Amino acid sequence: MASYSKIRESIGSRTFDLVNNFLILLFSLTIILPFWYLLAQSFDSTSNVNSLFYLWPQNFTLSNYKTIATNRYIWNGYLNTIFITITGTIGALFFTSMGAYALSKKRFPNRVFWSFFVIITMFFSGGLIPTYLWIVELGLINNIAVLIIPGFIGAYNMILIRNFFQQIPTELEDSACIDGAGVFRTFTNIIIPVSKPILATVALWVAVGNWNSWFNCLIYMRDANKFVLQVVLQRIIMQGSIQMLEQQTEMMDFAANPEIVKAACIYITTLPILCVYPFLQKYFVKGIYVGSLKG
């Protein structure tokens, strides 16, 4: 009887694993195939990209990427986006972690009130029009700082980092104080090094958010030379044209089918963040798990 139950459990377990593997494979294909489809498009000529099951370039060419790489709007957008992503991520980690460190201390005056003050901003905000008027009064219209400074503080990230800081043994800070370290030195030399998992996780979120951000640039920027790469890509995709690309003689072939321009631009845009993700992925699960343990 026991052996019969084991056989039934084994059959049920195998069936369950088989169905799960099939669903995971199907889900993976829904993610991989669109990327592969765009990759094949980006390396093909203008006449072979309309097939529904298009998985391989029929006329392989690198001219699509060469033409885009010589365009000044693309490169300006790239440089602006890289600058915003790096400075925005570093600034967000620094200021958000400092606020989280203060909120993690029981001796911080009115800690509960300030924690509630931070949390409530996750649910309510002033809205687009008051924010725009505030940006105008600060004189930040068409200033690249408007794409960086407002993202220095993130309420959710601050609470997550605060929860992580609360798990750090107080003995580490006590030993630093005995050695004569001040609050700021304790924060930079003791707390930050042992908080790599949560900081790497938040850095990944902020970097991806800054890299993909385009709406603020669309609202606050007037100079095309200050556009981020996402706005350049958005104009190419949403307008279905190549208006952001300079009118050069070698671009005339793309006028017949701008789909290859869109595909190549999408890959140029996503490649850097895909290269960064594997280096931070190992911290991701640990940072989220530990940072969400305690409220």
pLDDT single digits (tens) 91-126: 999 999 998 998 888 888 888 888 888 888 888 877
Q: Looking at the predicted structure, is the pLDDT value of residue 39 above 70?
A: yes
Query: For 247-258, what is each residue's pLDDT tens digit?
Result: 443 444 444 456
More confident residue, 172 or 1: 172
Tokens for 267, please give them. Answer: 């890959």
Q: Looking at the predicted structure, is the pLDDT value of residue 84 above 90?
A: yes
pLDDT of residue 295: 45
Tell me the average pLDDT across 4-26. 77
- The helices-and-strands tally (H runs, E runs) of the chain is 12, 0
Mean pLDDT of the chain: 78
How many Cα atoms within 13 Å fall on the side-chain side of residue 252? 3
- Among 92-106, 162-176, 188-202, 234-248, top mean pLDDT goes to 92-106
Q: Looking at the predicted structure, is the pLDDT value of residue 161 above 60?
A: yes
Cα separation of 57 and 259, whole Å?
A: 14
Tell me the average pLDDT across 119-139. 86
With CA atoms as reference, report the closest residue to 293 among 119, 118, 122, 164.
Answer: 164
pLDDT of residue 78: 86
Alpha-helix runs per DSSP H in the chain: 2-42, 63-69, 72-103, 111-120, 128-137, 155-165, 170-178, 183-186, 196-212, 215-220, 229-238, 259-291
Counting other chains too, the contacts that 189-192 makes at CB distance below 8 Å and 24 or more residues apart are 191/101, 191/165, 192/97
Could you tell me the fold of the domain covering 64-291?
Answer: MetI-like fold (1.10.3720)
pLDDT of residue 226: 86
Judge residue 55's burial from the number of C-beta atoms within 10 Å of its C-beta, 0-12 exposed, 13-18 middle, 19 or more buried: exposed
Q: Where are the domains of the chain?
A: 64-291
